């Protein structure tokens, strides 16, 4: 394992333990940080097993390809079921070096939508200044990505993305009937006026937790959601050329039509009793 891999692995382990400790202390962002750190550790381990060095690019390219496939699958589904719709995309804010970088999920989504639906815009919520400041004070910079500066690390969405922020942002938009979110829905989504409105847009979840959203997956609310397959395979094999084969290797598409089947084979993706 090279020095770069060791550094990344150490940072991931720090993030994992920090996340778990913060979760126990009651911080809402603790669990997400731990999960992300675990994923980083897995990818780094695969990179190491594949030889590192030039293989790093292969690992990154492979993960980007899977992300695009996830987006494309949802786009194709929406194109089939909701052709003619106008789409607003809700994206994660990007800070510092991340600003301006393409999002493979969105690239894949647009490819799948084709001309069947029209994307009318992309919007991102702003991180409240007090939340950003509090997170920066709690997060040690040794757990930050290389080159990150104070203020460039975004607090996990669960820490600040609320129903009020969601309503304020989405409520300002117009001319759409399908909302595709790459950041999930607020943890207090039940308090959202927009989501309670009978004239709400149809929702599609391209990225984000659906753990508490089982009851919302229905024709008049969440019409489709992409989530990670609990049986996902992480290896160094090339991405399958067949779209469905590649998609199934990492993801699940959950819809009102297949909800029962998905739950029967993957009962842990939703909260028990939800």
Q: Go through the domains of the chain in sequence order and give each one's CATH number.
A: 62-125+161-269 (3.40.50.2300)
> Average pLDDT of 213-218?
97
On the question of pLDDT at 48 being above 80, the answer is no
Q: What is the predicted pLDDT for the residue at 96?
A: 60
Q: How many CB atoms neighbour CB 188 within 10 A?
A: 12
Mean pLDDT for the chain? 82
pLDDT of residue 3: 45
Per-residue pLDDT, averaged over 82-104, amounts to: 85
Give the single-character DSSP code of 155. P
Position 229 scores a pLDDT of 92
User: What pLDDT score was predicted for residue 167?
Assistant: 98
Residues 6+ apart with CB under 8 A from 53: 2
Range in 17-31, 113-127, 148-162 with the lowest mean pLDDT? 17-31
Indicate if the pLDDT at residue 104 is higher than 60: yes
pLDDT in tens, 54-76: 467 888 899 999 999 999 999 99
Confidence grade of residue 103 (pLDDT, cut at 50, 70, 90): very high
Angle at 239 between CA 205 and CA 206, to 5 degrees: 5
Specify the 3-state DSSP secondary structure of 118.
strand
The pTM of the full predicted model, rounded to 2 decimals, is: 0.78
Q: What is the pLDDT of residue 47?
A: 52
Q: What is the mean pLDDT of residues 180-186?
A: 96
Looking at the predicted structure, is the pLDDT value of residue 124 above 60? yes
H helices present in the chain, as ranges: 3-24, 30-49, 55-81, 104-113, 129-138, 163-170, 193-196, 243-250, 259-265
Q: How confident is the model at residue 132 (pLDDT cuts 50, 70, 90)?
A: confident
For residue 148, pLDDT over 50 is answered with no
The whole-number pLDDT of residue 155 equals 80
> Which tokens is 43 given?
């990818």
Q: pLDDT tens across 219-269, in order?
A: 999 999 999 999 888 888 999 999 999 999 999 999 999 999 999 999 989
Q: Compare 192 and 45 and report the one with higher pLDDT.
A: 192
147 pLDDT exceeds 50? no
- Burial label for 244, CB within 10 Å (0-12, 13-18, 19+), is exposed
């Amino acid at each position: 394992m090279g020095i770069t891999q060791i550094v990344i692995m150490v940072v991931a382990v720090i993030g994992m333990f920090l996340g778990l400790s913060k979760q126990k202390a009651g911080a809402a962002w603790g669990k997400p940080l731990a999960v992300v750190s675990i994923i980083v550790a897995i990818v780094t381990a695969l990179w190491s097993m594949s030889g590192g060095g030039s293989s790093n690019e292969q690992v990154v390219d492979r993960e980007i390809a899977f992300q695009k496939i996830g987006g494309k699958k949802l786009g194709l589904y929406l194109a089939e079921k909701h052709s003619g719709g106008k789409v607003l995309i809700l994206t994660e804010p990007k800070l510092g070096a991340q600003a301006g970088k393409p999002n493979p999920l969105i690239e894949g989504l647009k490819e799948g939508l084709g001309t069947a639906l029209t994307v009318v815009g992309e919007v991102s919520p702003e991180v409240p200044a007090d939340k950003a400041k509090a997170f920066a004070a709690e997060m040690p910079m040794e757990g930050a990505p290389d080159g990150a500066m104070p203020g460039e690390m975004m607090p996990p969405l669960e820490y600040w993305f609320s129903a009020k922020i969601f309503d304020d942002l989405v409520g300002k938009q117009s001319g759409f009937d399908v909302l595709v979110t790459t950041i999930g829905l607020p943890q207090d989504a039940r308090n959202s006026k927009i989501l309670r409105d009978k004239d709400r847009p149809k929702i599609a979840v391209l990225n984000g937790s659906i753990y508490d959203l089982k009851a919302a997956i229905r024709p008049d609310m969440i019409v489709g959601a992409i989530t990670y397959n609990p049986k996902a395979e992480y290896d160094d094999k090339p991405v399958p050329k067949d779209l469905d084969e590649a998609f199934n290797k990492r993801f699940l598409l959950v819809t009102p039509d297949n909800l029962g089947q998905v739950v029967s084979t993957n009962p842990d993706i939703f909260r028990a009793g939800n």
